[in-house]
Homo-oligomer: A and B are copies of this chain.
Amino acid sequence: MYTIKDVALKAGLSQATVSRVINNHPYVSEDKKRAVQQAMDELGYVPNSSAQRLRNIKTNKVAVLVSRIVNPFFSQLVDAMERQAATAGYQLILCNTRIDPKKELDFFQLLKSKQVDGIIMASAENRWSAIEPFTKYGPIIYCNEYDPDATVTRVRLDQIEGGYIGTRHLLDKGHRKIAYCQGNDSSVSTNRRKGFLKAVTEAGMEPNPDWMFKNIFTIEDGRRIFNHLRELPDSPTAIFTGSDEVAAGIIKEAQAHSWQVPEDLAVVGFDDQPIAELLDPQITTINQFTSDIGIKAMEVMLEIINQPSLNTSRDILLPLHLIERQST
């Protein structure tokens, strides 16, 4: 393992000059630059990054917090982030919290002990108040998930818009009886419902509480919801769900009861998962353009690392898109 000293010796120059070449400092003559370059090449020299870091307080690493990397949304997000980070010579440290608040908090030691230059939270198991003390050790930003109390940059989707365009689409198709399913009560879900309500009231209608459902996540939940709707005295002609899985469950169960989709019931999903295209009929859905979020979040993080004054409280909203298919 060669050091900068070896390179300096071989090139007949000082360590300082070698260091300047490595870091592209001005004020190094062309011929010395070449000499150093050649010495480095011949020795196959690579700077020891621990030593660099010790001086620089710079790691060229960013930690990404996700709750479950096996979730396709997260793996796609991480993929995009990794790609973006790589273009700037950064590496990505994967922090899989497995939905454990304690484990999540532990990862912030990485920032404290200067093992990463910043942390991107793509999931959040702790309240902002628990995270806040770590902000003095380096930049922290939210991506997709966020805590409304947080005073840092948040890159996220415009869920209000997402809820709005999905509903708007059903309204445009002539539907007036629209049901709505959501998952938990996260900020994402809440905003999405706001969009739904906005579209509905804009159309001069008011939402029917009998057609609004919470905590609906799985294919099985979707089946259950259909059976519930089916037995209602007044059933809706369309439904907007929080995920493609739920949409798939509803469609499958509707077909099992000889309902026609979209004629008897129009269904809009969310996420544009692979299943949305595989089903018959293919599911009309809202696409999160996951890669865009990841790229944007990493882009912003790298900006902040290079210019800490940018580390302010701001919301960066990314658009959602309607993918019209056969289920509406």
Residues of A participating in the B interface, judged by any CB pair closer than 8 Å:
1, 46-51, 53-54, 59, 61, 68-70, 72, 74-76, 78-79, 82-83, 86, 91-96, 98, 103, 109-110, 112-115, 137, 275, 278
Docked-complex contact A94 and B72, CB < 8 angstroms: no
> Which of B48, B70, B113, B114 has a CB less than 8 Å from the CB of A54?
B48
List B contacts of A53 (CB < 8 A): 50
Contacts of A92 in B (CB 8 A): 93-94
Known: A68-B79, A69-B75. A91 touches B93 (CB 8 A): yes
A248 nearest CB neighbor, chain B only: B278
The answer for the CA separation of A95 and B54 in the assembled complex, in Å, is 24
Give 9 A-B contacts (CB < 8 Å), ordered by A residue: A47-B113, A48-B113, A49-B113, A50-B50, A54-B54, A70-B75, A74-B75, A78-B94, A83-B96
Report A100 CB to chain B, min CB distance, Å. Answer: 10
Given contacts A50-B54, A69-B79, A70-B75, 9 further A-B contacts (CB under 8 A): A1-B114, A48-B54, A48-B113, A48-B114, A49-B113, A50-B114, A54-B54, A74-B75, A86-B103
Smallest CB–CB gap between A64 and chain B, Å?
Answer: 8
Q: Tell me the bound Cα distance from A300 to B256 in angstroms.
A: 49
CA A49 – CA B112 in complex, angstroms?
A: 10
Residues of B within 8 A of A278 (CB): 275
Beta-carbon contact of B83 and A98 below 8 Å: yes
B46 and A112 contacting across the interface, CB-CB below 8 Å: yes
> Is B72 within 8 A of A72, CB to CB?
yes
The residues of B that contact A96 with a CB separation of less than 8 Å are 79, 82-83, 86
